[in-house]
Chains A and B, each alone.
Chain A
Amino acid sequence: MPIEVKNLNHIYSKGSPFEKTALSDISFKINDGEFVGLIGHTGSGKSTLIQHLNGLLKPDGGSVIVDGLDISDKTVNMREIRSKVGIVFQYPEYQLFEETVYKDIAYGPKNLGLDEKEIDARVRHVAEVVGLDEKYFEKSPFELSGGQKRRVAIAGVLAMNPKMLILDEPAAGLDPVGRDEILNRIKLLHETEGLTVVLVSHSMEDIARLAERIMVMCDGELKMFDTVENIFSRSAELSSMGLNVPQACLVMQGLKKNGIAVDDKIYTVEKACKEILRYLGEVGKC
């Protein structure tokens, strides 16, 4: 499902002395089935932007077209938009509220007015997708560990059967294993079910590993929207915007600066190793 944003503006507290432009003249298109990374410093407008993508916020100028529907159009049913675009906010485990894990996941589909059988099928399916064992279904969500709670929260959004999933720092506060488990599940979902994903993260390593294209926000503007390798090759610009690049990039760029003819548009450990071995083989050192 494509999303198109044209000349989007958003101003907080418009008309008051505290007026602040949060987004200015943003235009982009996310294609069906893409995995997009969204990066930017705190206050750059990332959260404001994603809240426009399912109509939680309305544009003060420009338009947001979700699957052909303009969210500013008064005749458009917002419920339809929100069931197409699911947002998992930061620390989503704080949004759990039901008595049991099962009820919490079922809450969204139940409000869509689906019948019991369909709800049950969805709950079981999404639990499997996020790697949550059925033995947790009758437990209180508040008894679970942080990583498990987060799975329940993500499952609750997936149970709405969205065509696009937006995640705001889904791995914040998780240890490396917990982080990889959650992110790999999301990747798998993207690959097997063709889900369009927008991942907001401060971890350039995670973005590098998962995204196909990256959007870079700075001071309310969309500064770059390009492939991962093109974005991370602009490390000086990124660092001037308060961002960085994965350490693997820095190693490759450092080698290049020292006159070693390696490809410096590389952003993962795996590719870096391959490229270094290729180079050493070429110059007859291994």
Chain B
Amino acid sequence: MCETCGCGESNSFSIRKPGEAIKNNPEHTHTHSHSHLHDGSEHAHSHSHAHTHDYNHEHHHHHEESDHAHHHHDYQHKHSHITEIKVETDILHKNNLIAERNRGFFEAKNIFALNLVSSPGSGKTSLIERSIKDLSKDVNFYIIEGDQQTMNDANRIEAAGAPVVQINTGNGCHLDADMINKAVKKLEVENNSLLIIENVGNLICPSLFDLGESKRVVIISVTEGEDKPIKYPTMFQSSDICIINKTDLLPYVDFDINKAKEYAHQVNHHLEFFELSVKTGEGIDKWYEWLKSQIS
């Protein structure tokens, strides 16, 4: 989205490797022009009239009026034709097309791609960090980090030892397929690897944007409400995997883990669960087993 006036989609995102200076993407420069009409003349009315003439010539014509007065000048025939175009196009078709291209690219290169979504603070980055540290012998990790601002997450991932690019969305609230398409090129992902895309921390907007991932993974932590799955159902409905993180804190919070799973299953009965604590490592082996089974 355009940072200057909020008038565009993903016009001003940046994709950087750690340590790289920000530079403007020439493909995404645009100009801003705004017209401000305050005289009410934006209100246009169109009227179409069909006139049948003696010589059987039928045509439609059009008057544009902004003063609400109706003048029928039958002697001034303006020949214009209103055509109805049946569009029937999905509003997100562009994103979906690019997502499918990404998906095809991943399949051809045997890249298993995960789209990690959650509220801010559920532990997405920590889970990626720990997974890299524990599995780097067996798995080729590539990471795309998505945040509105800062290189902080990319720096953490780099320190953990995996190639990473950071997408800063500026004011944008989600990653889209085009950003991933460009980020993957920059990241130069090798064959037979695991690509983890950490989406912008937001349980609403990213749910509508397919990135071309193999699986979508939603994370909740036990410090959040157990009713999150029904409060933000669209995300849980569109996910394949649900990780419940920070289980080491269960004794200290009023989080009913069974209730949370029950709610999540009400929204999406296909969801597969992993209960774990990134901090203590409790339950994390099952997650690793699953990861390895997906990429082998």
Determine if chain A interacts with chain B: no
Chain B residues within 8 Å of A, Cβ to Cβ? none
Chain A residues within 8 Å of B, Cβ to Cβ? none
